[in-house]
Amino acid sequence: MEEALHLEGVLRFIAVFFVTVGVPSLLLAYFGVASIRTEERSVGGEVEGDAVALADSFWSQSDRRFSGFESRVLDRLEAGRSPLESPGELHTLLLTAMRLSEDGVLLAPFVEEDGGATAPIEELFDPHWRAVWERERAGAPPAELAEAYFQAAALTGSRAVEGRARFDAARQLNRSGQQRRAEDLLVDIEAHFGGLRDPWGIRLADLARLEQATFALARDPGSGEAALRDLVEDLLAARWVVGEGGEAAVARRALSLLEPYGRREWGAGARGRVAERTAMLYWTGVLLPELRQFQIGGGSLRMGSGALRWQVGERGVWATTWWGDELYAFALDQDALLAELKADARGLATPDSGLSAYLAGPLDPVQSRALVQRSLAPWLPGWQLVVEHRDPEALARLRARKRNQRLGVVGLSTLLLVIGGVMSARLVKRELDVAGMQTRFAANVSHELRSPITQIRLKGEALMLGLADSEEEQQEAYHAIVRESERLSRLVDNVLDFAAIERGKKSYVLKPGDLADSVLRAIDSLSSSIELSDKELDVELPHDLPEVSFDSDAVAQCVINVVSNAAKYSDPGGWIGVRARVVAGFVEIAISDRGIGIPPHDLRHLFEPYYRSADSLARRRKGTGIGLTITRYIMRAHGGDVSVSSRPGKGSTFTLRFPLRAPDPSPTSPSSRDRSPSRATGA
Ligand code: ADP
């Protein structure tokens, strides 16, 4: 029955332990690890989020760079204004802008050929013209030179050289003061040779107009200035020829002649326009082959009017759009544009973000650790912005450290929970054990009480009813009644003392006295007991033991408890020895037996309240489990202690140790040295 109750208690305890400790520990560990994973993902997500935000802001910055250009081009087209006028306003990095026909012929602002044959440079070495030119360099008089140039013009076989020679003749006529003739000649040149270009690519018409205006400037600055300005405006309005620099040279010369004269604002503007046009002419010559390549490769497939198409060439980034039947093509400076975009990318990736960003071209390898790759299409097809972590190993290390820290916290919490659980389990078990022991104690006490009472009653009744026939039997009944009453009173003393000890209400009066004598009297009081009746009692107590302070009733109680245990836990006929000696400031009373002995695991619990050995040999003997508890309490109250040594099956020795000096008296008691009693407790 008791076993079943115990098992039920254990099962109930396991269930409670599982619910209150096991499940929470498992949940803590599970959710702890899960939250670490989530946290890690979110750290990764945060970095990726930063990278995406960086790519987004790069994108919008780039969008501003390109979409402004797109809308300016389309606005102009829709407003019917040519996007080729003041092209510099469209984009700061515009290299050139041009208009082409459906079949790829360059229409504006340049043409590829104007039909005006340029004299090959060798013609400069025409012997007739060259001879005169040598004389001019030697400083021959202008009138003479004019005639000589006329002759060279007549002799040469080249129209271009002829025109140039006639122009040189007109120049010399001007220098020799024959302005009238010179003017006529220049008008004639403009009319008949105007479309031709000299070996330097200068149209003879422009040369003639420049010469006329130069002389006009000397004669009548107002008209000369106007003529030069007209010349510059006409040149700027004309379509220059790709590969020829004549128009630019004439315009620059005209502008330098105009410099000392008024209209500075116009001059500065015109110089800017000439410079812009000259640069665009150069870039058109350089970049046309690129554009042609797109056209051959079908790259400029006709799209809806006004839709801009972006392509990347070798030198330029091209934006082309169809408007009606004509194609507008704009080339941006690729190197400068990429440099600006790279600077944008660098500027966005601040050092504290831990991110770096760079542009990767179509052929550049992209690292596998890239966090974001954002294509720069449509503006720069094939190019992309790559965002990556500056030091991915550092990020991984940081993550690992954080993970270990969190794992440590979760592990420690789980461990503490388990330790707490185990400790409470042990406490609960102890409480359960104590409760069990208390239950058994109550049962044992009732049993222990009942047996002497029964004996006394039986013997009393026998005497009363005259059942004891002989004198001997009567004596035996009287002895039994006395013996059992002593046993009863010992038991009741123990129980009452124990209750007082439990309440902390038990104290003793210590008086110096003869310890050996008290021990002997205690043993004597037991001699009539059943347990001792069949034992060999061997008592050796020297009479010259040093004096110690003690409470003689309490010491007697200790001796009775230990000696009756020695008898109880020995077999009939067993030996019990009582010895006393002085050791290192103590008087020791050792009570030995050759009884059943005590298993080692019981030794440290023997003095605990209600503790009884679970050993079957011990269990066979009746007891309450409080005798040794009281003994220890009393011995400690004397400033000493009780100890045990035992070997199962061989016997046990309990040693009561009294200090030679009395324990420190309580504040209400005088010192032991005046040999007056002192009060002590064993707590
Ligand atoms: P009890 O009334 O059970 O004897 P005690 O407090 O006097 O209670 O003793 C506690 C336990 O110590 C006993 O139940 C017994 O198991 C063990 N014990 C005490 N003295 C001896 C002894 N001399 N030999 C063997 N076991 C002993």
Question: Distance from the CA of 558 to the center of ligand 1, in angstroms?
Answer: 13
Q: Over range 352-372, report the average pLDDT.
A: 81
Q: Is 630 in the pocket of ligand 1 (CB under 6 A)?
A: no
Q: Please report the atom of ligand 1 found closest to the CA of residue 612.
A: 14
The radius of gyration of the chain's CA atoms, rounded to the nearest angstrom, is 63
pLDDT exceeds 50 at position 304: yes
pLDDT confidence band for 668 (50 / 70 / 90): very low
Amino acid at 260: P
Q: Is residue 623 within 6 Å of ligand 1 at its C-beta?
A: yes
pLDDT at 671: 37
Average pLDDT value for the chain:
86
| DSSP letter string, 406-465 | HHHHHHHHHHHHHHHHHHHHHHHHHHHHHHHHHHHHHHHHHHHHHHHHHHHHHHHHHHHT
| CA 106 to centroid of ligand 1, rounded, Å | 123
Q: What pLDDT is recorded for position 170?
A: 94
Among 612, 617, 619, 650, the mutation site with the greatest number of ligand 1 atoms within 8 A of its Cβ is: 612
Q: Is 618 touching ligand 1 by the criterion CB < 6 Å? A: yes
Whether 36 lines ligand 1, by a CB cut-off of 6 Å, is no
Pocket test for ligand 1, best of 501, 529, 628, 633 (most atoms within 8 A of CB): 628
Query: Chain centroid to CA 602: how far?
Result: 55
Residue 625 Cα: closest atom of ligand 1 = 8
Q: Whose CA is nearest to atom 8 of ligand 1?
A: 625
pLDDT tens-digit map of 20-43: 777 887 888 788 778 777 776 766
> 490: which 2 tokens?
């010992």
Report how far residue 353's alpha carbon sits from residue 273's, in angstroms, rounded to the nearest whole number.
Answer: 46
Ligand 1 within 6 A of CB of 612: yes
Find out whether the beta carbon of 606 lies less than 6 Å from any atom of ligand 1.
yes
569 pocket-lining for ligand 1 (C-beta < 6 Å):
yes
For residue 9, give the amino acid letter.
Answer: G
Q: How far is the CA of 540 from the centre of ligand 1 (A)?
A: 23
Between CA 581 and CA 540 the distance in angstroms is: 10
* Binding site membership of 567 for ligand 1 (Cβ less than 6 Å): no
Contact 651 CB / ligand 1 (< 6 Å): no
DSSP 8-state code for residue 197: B
User: Would you list the DSSP string of 636-670?
Assistant: HHTT-EEEEEEETTTEEEEEEEEESSPPPPPTTS-
Tell me if 494 CB under 6 Å of ligand 1: no
If residue 309 lies in a helix (H) or strand (E), which one and from where to where?
A: strand 309-312
Q: For 64-80, what is each residue's pLDDT tens digit?
A: 888 889 999 989 988 88
- Ligand 1 center–CA 494 separation, angstroms: 14
Q: How do 575-583 and 586-593 pair as beta strands?
A: antiparallel
- Which pLDDT value is given to residue 683? 61
Higher per-residue pLDDT: 5 or 461: 461
CA distances from residue 568 to 486, 532, 595, 676 in whole angstroms, order as listed: 16, 8, 9, 37
State in Å: Cα 259 to ligand 1 middle.
132
For 33, other C-beta atoms within 10 Å of its C-beta total 15
Does the beta carbon of 613 lie inside 6 Å of ligand 1?
Answer: yes
Read off the DSSP letter of residue 216: H
pLDDT category, 123, cuts 50, 70, 90? low
Q: How far is CA 474 from CA 388, 464, 481, 534, in A?
A: 112, 10, 11, 22
Confidence of residue 531 (pLDDT cuts 50, 70, 90): confident
Give the residue with greater pLDDT, 44 vs 57: 57
With the most atoms of ligand 1 within 8 angstroms of its CB, the residue from 578, 606, 621 to mutate is 606
| Cα 597 to ligand 1 centre (Å) | 10
* Long-range residue pairs from 50-56, CB within 8 A, at least 24 positions apart, any chain: 50/353, 50/355, 51/355, 51/371, 51/372, 51/387, 51/388, 51/389, 52/372, 54/348, 54/349, 54/353, 54/355, 54/357, 54/372, 54/387, 55/357, 55/372, 55/374, 55/385, 55/387
For 180-201, how does the pLDDT look when each residue is reduced to its tens digit (9 = 90+)? 999 999 999 999 988 888 877 8
Average pLDDT over residues 221-237: 91
Note the pLDDT of residue 303. 55
Check if the beta carbon of residue 40 is closer than 8 Å to that of residue 403: yes
Give the distance (Å) from ligand 1 centre to CA of residue 37. Answer: 59
652 lines ligand 1 (CB under 6 A): yes
pLDDT digits (tens, 9 = 90+) for 479-501: 889 988 988 998 998 999 999 99
What kind and span of H or E run contains 327?
strand 326-333
Going by pLDDT thresholds of 50, 70 and 90, the confidence category of residue 677 is: low
Nearest protein Cα to ligand 1, atom 4? 623
The residue behind tokens 């200068």 is 202
- Check pocket membership of 441 for ligand 1, CB cut-off 6 A: no
Q: How far apart (Å, rounded) are the C-alpha atoms in residues 124 and 116? A: 17
CA of 598 to the centre of ligand 1 (A): 8
**Does the C-beta of 598 come closer than 6 Å to ligand 1?**
yes
* Residue having the nearest C-alpha atom to atom 13 of ligand 1: 612
How far does the chain reach from its first CA to its final CA, in angstroms? 36
What pLDDT score does 627 carry? Answer: 94
Determine which residue's CA is closest to atom 18 belonging to ligand 1: 565
The finding on whether 566 has its CB within 6 A of some atom of ligand 1 is yes
Report the amino acid identity of residue 1. Answer: M
